[in-house]
Amino acid sequence: MVAGGLVTAVSRSPAHTLTKEPRASIRLLAGLGVEGDAHLGAAVKHRSRVARDPTQPNLRQVHLLHAELHDELASAGLEVAAGEMGENVTTRGIDLLALPTGTRLGLGPDAVVEVTGLRNPCRQLDELRPGLMAATLARDEYGALVRKAGVMAVVLAGGEVRPGDEIRFELAPEPRRALEPV
């Protein structure tokens, strides 16, 4: 794996709330997600997905968000702190949105997650800050929708993750697939 960034914050919430409380560390559990987080589990935990089919696999065990988005939002007058957009791991120095599906990220000394897709921003963001949902969406030069609210991953190897931990990555093998919402 190649070094590619830093963990700037880690967060979790035992309740199904949009925001997650920043912590000194979180523990990732292989095949399950973040210990003590409402989305922990091998099967889906997101309430709307559970309503559709509670047996589908949980491809959203860990939400990673790039701190550069916080910077972009702040410059637009939308101050957002780590964990407020529901992310478990806030990163800096790695272009999460450009990673292909299946990329593996090493977080801290032991944990490894595999990127499954993009987080699809939801209307709850506007309850946090009016205009936030629109600010996490854009159009590329071809008119295609760009979702900037981070990526989702599953835990392959567990371990403690703390702010200041190095992020390592290994791109998915060829042929690579662009991220899609999960």
Question: Any idea which residue has 């509670």 for tokens?
Answer: 54
Q: Give the confidence band of 47 by pLDDT, cuts at 50, 70, 90.
A: confident
Structure token digits, residue 129: 């800050």
pLDDT digits (tens, 9 = 90+) for 133-176: 999 999 999 999 999 999 999 999 999 999 999 999 999 999 99
pLDDT (mean) for 112-116: 98
Q: Is the pLDDT of residue 46 over 80?
A: no
pLDDT of residue 126: 96
SS3 for the chain is CEEEEEEEEEEECCCCCCCCEEECCEEEECCCEECCCCCCCCECCCHHHHHHCCCCECCCCEEEEEHHHHHHHHHCCCCCCCCCCCCCEEEECCCHHHCCCCCEEEECCCEEEEEEEECCCCCHHHHHCCCHHHHCEEECCCCCEEECCCEEEEEEECEEECCCCEEEEECCCCCCCCCCEC
pLDDT digits (tens, 9 = 90+) for 65-109: 999 999 999 999 999 999 999 999 999 999 999 999 999 999 999
Retrieve residue 37's tokens. Answer: 């987080």
pLDDT tens digits for range 5-18: 999 999 999 999 99
Which band of pLDDT confidence, cut at 50, 70 and 90, is reported for residue 53?
Answer: confident
* 4 has pLDDT over 90: no
What are the chain's domains? 2-170 (2.40.33.20)
Q: pLDDT value at position 171?
A: 96
Predicted confidence band at 51 (pLDDT cuts at 50, 70, 90)?
confident
